[in-house]
């Protein structure tokens, strides 16, 4: 990166600072650090091979194809059929419009639940859970404890299906109404009712109108609440925005 910046006549220190700011911003929007670094590098290149992107972004070559697949799954980039494979960015204006739309939708949901604790008159605690292993365990626990309904929306249903597909099947067999919302062309967990929706950002799990879990795309952080009043209201809002 330093050499390229020098060749372009730019101050490497200034540009590196801006580069780090862009990576942090994209990380806040749900990209992993490697995805963010690779995406910014490809934007600078406009088009490049995995080797080019790895060299500039400092993403290890052993990880670069997995990282680029993640960016492609998010519709941020696309492959060109060539040897070696080359990548190019999707239209930045369209990406910006989608991200802004998703953020506005998220804040719209937040405004709808603002003040519910005081209105309901029932104190509630929102628990924060960190770490992929603990969060996946919590999702499994909620599915196993379900008695009536499960409503699960996720941009990464494949991971949940592989981890908890049998638990959801068991829930259906004991009479639980299981509805999943997932991206088009992703296989739904067996025996569940499915709704197809593009562009989801976070994982939302509502069980029995009693408990709610909201997790980041990488399942590294989530919020969990077991207040029925808040959960019921959130479930109504969530379904109205998806169905």
pLDDT digit string, tens, across residues 24-61: 777 767 788 888 889 988 988 889 999 999 998 889 99
Q: Quick check: pTM over 0.85? A: no
Task: Give Cα 73 distance to the centre of its chain.
Answer: 11
CB 117 within 8 A of CB 123: yes
Query: What is the band of 14 on the pLDDT scale with cuts at 50, 70, 90?
Result: very low
Out of 46, 68, 90, a domain closes at 90
CB 220 within 8 A of CB 135: yes
Q: What CATH number is associated with residue 129? A: 3.30.870.10
Out of 90, 117, 149, a domain closes at 90
Q: What CATH number is associated with residue 77? A: 1.10.10.10
Out of 67, 90, 113, a domain closes at 90
CB 31 within 8 A of CB 25: no
pLDDT digit string, tens, across residues 193-205: 888 888 788 888 9
Answer yes or no: do 75 and 101 share one domain.
no
Per this entry, what is the length of the chain? 243
């Amino acid at each position: 990166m330093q050499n390229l910046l020098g060749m372009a006549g730019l101050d490497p220190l200034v540009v590196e600072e801006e580069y780090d700011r862009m990576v942090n911003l994209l990380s806040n929007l749900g990209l992993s650090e490697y995805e963010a670094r690779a995406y910014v590098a490809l934007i600078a290149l406009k088009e490049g091979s995995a080797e080019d992107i790895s060299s500039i972004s400092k993403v290890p070559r052993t990880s670069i194809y997995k990282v680029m697949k993640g960016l492609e799954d998010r519709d941020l980039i696309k492959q060109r059929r060539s040897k070696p494979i080359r990548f190019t960015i999707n239209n930045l204006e369209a990406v910006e419009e989608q991200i802004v739309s998703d953020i506005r939708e998220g804040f719209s949901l937040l405004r709808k639940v603002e003040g519910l604790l005081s209105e309901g008159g029932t104190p509630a605690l929102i628990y924060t859970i960190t770490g992929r292993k603990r969060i996946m365990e919590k999702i499994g626990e909620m599915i196993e404890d379900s008695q009536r309904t499960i409503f699960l929306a996720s941009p990464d249903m494949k991971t949940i299906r592989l981890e908890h597909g049998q638990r959801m099947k068991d829930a259906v067999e004991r009479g639980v109404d299981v509805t999943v919302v997932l991206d088009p062309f992703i296989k739904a967990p067996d025996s569940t009712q499915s709704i197809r929706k593009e562009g989801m950002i976070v994982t939302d799990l509502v069980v029995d109108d009693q408990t709610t879990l909201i997790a980041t795309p990488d399942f590294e952080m989530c919020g969990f609440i077991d207040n029925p009043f808040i959960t019921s209201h959130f479930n109504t809002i969530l379904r109205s925005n998806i169905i």
